[in-house]
Amino acid sequence: MLAVAKRIILKSIEELSSHAQFALIFGGPQGRSFTRFPQSGKPVEATPENKKNAAIFLAYAPIDGTPSVAIDLIAALRSAEQLSSSSRSIIYVGRGIITDDTPENVLQEVAGENRLHVKISVIGIEPFADGEEFLKQLAAQNGGTYTRVD
């Protein structure tokens, strides 16, 4: 599953125009920490050098355990808020597994934190039945789209 997610993210980065900006956030186990590119969390332009550095980051991203979906999404929102209003969007990739809260609480927390109406699109990688419903709702409530990948 992780290899599929990394391929999708890498392809998305490669397709960005050089004027686009992006950042990556990967959740740590049980919400204890997350890792991001760039380390500042401030999005960078999609230059060839930044795309190359992001690919290196992605190859070695220390991912293990089940991250806190709410903490990771809020970190992504704070990063996206640094973009111009026409460029604010997040692509969330996951299985919809929530271990530290309920889907309803996560949706409510993200709705409250998404003050600037950042669009959140979702890619569900082999999602579980209940997890897929959460992922669809996350995209719908934030003006994004949902795509399932098996």
For residue 9, what are its two tokens?
Answer: 């993210």
Nearest in space to 75 (alpha carbons), one of 44, 32, 127: 32
User: Looking at residue 107, which CATH number applies to its domain?
Assistant: 3.40.50.410
Provide the residue-wise pLDDT of the chain in tens; the chain has 150 residues.
667 778 888 888 898 888 888 888 776 555 556 778 888 888 888 999 999 999 998 888 765 556 678 888 888 899 888 888 777 888 888 888 888 789 999 999 999 999 999 999 998 888 888 899 999 999 999 999 999 988
Strands ordered across the beta sheet of 119-125? 89-94, 119-125, 146-149
Name the residue range of residue 44's domain: 2-149
The count of structural domains within the chain is 1
For residue 150, what are its two tokens?
Answer: 């098996």
Q: State which H helix or E strand residue 139 sits in.
A: helix 129-141
Q: pTM for this one? A: 0.80
